[in-house]
Amino acid sequence: MENKEPSSVYHIPILVEEISNLLAWEKSERIIDLTVGGGGHLLALLSQFPRPTEIWANDQDLEAIAESKKKLQAFEPIHWVHGNFRDIRKLTSEKFDRVLIDLGVSSHQLDDASRGFSFQKEGPLDMRMDQTRGMPASEWLMQCDITEFANIVYEYGEERSSRVFARRWAEARGALKGRDLTTAAFVQALGFNFNSKNPQGRHPLTRVFQALRIHLNQEWQALDEVLNLLPDLLSDKGRLSILTFHSLEDRKVKWALRGKLKPINKKVIQAGETESRANPRSRSAKLRVYEKMQTEELE
């Protein structure tokens, strides 16, 4: 049997070459990956450039940390942190020369049916990035206010049929009480199956699942908080790489950091045709890289 490397099983990192080129260093005292995931981006950087004095790796998913530890064992010691990146200043007051953030859901999280992120795989409807805390989607959906459901799907998913889906869920969930709510049961309650497609070729519940995930994990609240922290987290001339996968996320990054950090790339960097074909999930990725400069250098 073929023995695959963890990176081919767990997650395919996106825009690795572009990030490596823009975060290259000759000497780096400290580097931190705030969303280490499968460790692909950090591995690429540490393999190419001089070893930093300190390496920090943070993630809210314990499975991701376990995978990264295997992949990055040659670069130990590493400060491993399990938690949300919004809390990093509770753990350290240090400044970093390189900071990485990847706001995407990993391939492993999407493909693992037990995580509940996919509308095309049967399993527990969980959706938590950190399964050690918070309420799984199945519990929240059985008790949520229907108007709140509609508002969340509209705001976080930009789904125009949010009220239609809310009405369908209100009508269906009574019959599901006392049963384990799985991904299949939820998809069927909203009138679809795993193979459903809309006229654009996408699953009709793509935006619904996205919106519920963002809400349950407080993704945008956490993003707002970490964006406020980033200018202080970077050392002078330090660089930040941030990958977004949603237009509203990208807007948040652009406006929150405007006038605080200097953009290295004036336009967002996106995957080329070759990478997009090889990894379809890279198509929605947008990369922005910033440098901490003196105030008069920002314009």
pTM of the predicted protein model: 0.90
What DSSP string runs through 113-177? GGG---TTS-SB----SSTTSS--HHHHHHH--HHHHHHHHHHHH--TTHHHHHHHHHHHGGGGT
pLDDT single digits (tens) 209-252: 999 999 999 999 999 999 999 999 999 999 999 999 988 899 99
Check residue 10 and give its pLDDT.
65
Instruction: Say if residues 69 and 80 touch (Cβ distance below 8 Å).
Output: yes
Helix axes 146-157, 162-172, angle to 10 degrees: 140
Residue spans of the domains in the chain: they are 6-107+220-297, 131-216
Helix axes 16-23, 40-48, angle to 10 degrees: 50
Homologous superfamily assigned to 6-107+220-297: Vaccinia Virus protein VP39 (3.40.50.150)
SS3 11: coil
Per CATH, the number for 131-216 is: 1.10.150.170
Instruction: Say if residues 227 and 257 touch (Cβ distance below 8 Å).
Output: yes
Expressed in angstroms, the distance from the first to the final Cα of the chain is 56
Handedness of CA 195, 200, 202, 207 (dihedral sign): negative
pLDDT above 80 (res 8): no
Instruction: Say if residues 224 and 257 touch (Cβ distance below 8 Å).
Output: no
Percent of the chain with pLDDT over 70: 95
pLDDT above 80 (res 138): yes
pLDDT single digits (tens) 93-116: 999 999 999 998 887 888 888 899
